[in-house]
């Protein structure tokens, strides 16, 4: 979800680790895709670092990566935690030239799609092992057939009238995180690339590199007004399942029949067959509660 930030925090000063990838070039000859990339050993959160850079005039695309966050931020004001070195924790700063505010969610979706492809590649997973849980969580099937979270995305934008002026999009990927270190309360609903690849160590720098490789053409396309609607729609693992959605209008339990790539909405049908569209901004929780042919638990 992209949220408007009313107040911007300042990021801490200096990077504590050398940048993993000092040079990258935009497809347009001569302009770097990544204008600034810094890597930190431990910070409260990479989000305010990028917000501080953007507010100070740093051009897009700015990337901050941390080995550890002491006050990591999730969606809807939740905390985001991971042991040091277990996750790829990155925030990216954008100045999209002409992105309507109503399409700000496409930035988060674009980052997520780029990461999904990169993660399957770097972890050596079969195509389709990973999917999206609407709107942009990266998930995999658990042994019980229900979805387990591998990565989450947090978007925070500042708007100028009806356009996105700047946006900070953060992604946290459970990369090299062994199952024995999963927190007990999250273990049933999460997994990591390491576990999905049968316990193989996951190189977070290689994942970062693979992500930026895939992000560049996807973001260039978005700048030209093209969004991968097909990829975003077909990757949705919610589609065809019964979902429970909590939002402004209370709880809705219905079948997810698809997503709307124009608005970013989740499309549901109730038992009466009526079609209902749920906007990302209205939702506090979306959970798959039953697979086809199975009863909700
Ligand atoms: C979610 O709730 O699913 C979104 C989690 C986003 C976490 C990432 S980790 C890097 C960046 N810094 C933060 O504090 N949060 C995001």
Nearest CA to ligand 1 atom 9: 172
User: Which pLDDT band, with edges at 50, 70 and 90, does 189 fall under?
Assistant: very high
Superfamily, domain 3-234: Bira Bifunctional Protein; Domain 2 (3.30.930.10)
Residues 6+ apart with CB under 8 A from 167: 2, 93, 94, 96, 104, 107, 155, 156, 157, 158
List pLDDT tens digits, range 16-37. Answer: 565 555 444 444 455 689 999 9
Q: Indicate the range of 18-32, 142-156, 199-213 predicted with least confidence.
A: 18-32
User: Which pLDDT band, with edges at 50, 70 and 90, does 56 fall under?
Assistant: very high
- 242-290 in CATH: which number? 2.30.30.100
List pLDDT tens digits, range 91-146. Answer: 999 999 999 999 999 999 999 999 999 999 999 999 999 999 999 999 999 988 88
- What backbone torsions phi and psi does residue 235 show, to the nearest 5 degrees? -80, -10
Domain range summary for the chain, segments of one domain joined by +: 3-234, 242-290
The DSSP annotation for 259-294 comes to: EETTTTEEEEE-TT--EEEE-GGGEEEEEEEE-TTS
Q: CB–CB of 155/104 below 8 Å?
A: yes
- The mean predicted confidence, pLDDT, of the chain is 88
Residue among 79, 170, 174 whose CB has most ligand 1 atoms within 8 A, to mutate:
170
Q: Indicate the range of 112-116, 182-186, 196-200, 277-281 predicted with least confidence.
A: 277-281
Nearest CA to ligand 1 atom 11: 170
Q: What is the pLDDT of residue 31?
A: 66
Average pLDDT over residues 187-206: 97
> How many residues in the chain?
297
Alpha-helical runs (H) found in the chain: 46-55, 105-122, 193-196, 204-223, 229-234
CA of 95 to the centre of ligand 1 (A): 20
Residue 66 CA, closest ligand 1 atom number: 10
Nearest CA to ligand 1 atom 15: 73
List pLDDT tens digits, range 222-279. Answer: 999 999 999 999 999 999 999 988 887 788 899 999 999 999 999 999 888 899 998 8
Q: What is the pLDDT of residue 293?
A: 47
> Is the model more confident about 96 or about 8?
96
């Amino acid at each position: 979800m992209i949220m408007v930030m009313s107040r911007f925090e300042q990021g801490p000063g200096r990077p504590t680790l050398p940048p993993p990838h000092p040079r990258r070039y935009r497809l347009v000859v001569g302009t770097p895709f990544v204008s600034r990339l810094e890597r930190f050993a431990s910070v409260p959160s990479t989000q305010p670092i990028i917000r501080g850079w953007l507010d100070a005039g740093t051009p897009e695309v700015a990337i901050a990566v941390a080995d550890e966050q002491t006050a990591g931020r999730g969606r809807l004001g939740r905390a985001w935690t991971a042991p040091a070195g277990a996750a790829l924790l990155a925030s990216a700063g954008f100045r999209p030239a002409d992105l309507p505010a109503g399409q700000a969610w496409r930035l988060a979706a674009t980052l997520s799609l780029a990461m999904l492809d990169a993660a399957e590649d770097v972890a050596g997973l079969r195509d389709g092992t990973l999917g999206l849980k609407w709107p942009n969580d990266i998930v995999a099937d658990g042994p019980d057939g229900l979805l387990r979270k591998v990565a989450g995305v947090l978007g925070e934008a500042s708007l100028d009238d009806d356009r996105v002026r700047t946006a900070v999009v953060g992604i946290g990927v459970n990369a090299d995180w062994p199952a024995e270190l999963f927190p007990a309360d999250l273990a049933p609903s999460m997994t990591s690339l390491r576990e999905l690849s049968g316990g193989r160590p996951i190189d977070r720098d290689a994942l970062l590199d693979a992500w930026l490789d895939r992000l560049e053409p996807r973001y260039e396309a978005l700048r030209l007004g093209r969004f991968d609607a097909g990829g975003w729609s077909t990757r949705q693992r919610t589609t065809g399942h019964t979902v429970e959605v909590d939002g402004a209008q209370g709880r809705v339990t219905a079948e997810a029949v698809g997503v709307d790539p124009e608005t970013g909405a989740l499309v549901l049908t109730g038992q009466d067959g009526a079609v209902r569209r749920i906007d990302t901004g209205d939702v506090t929780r979306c959970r798959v509660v039953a697979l086809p042919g199975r009863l909700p638990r």
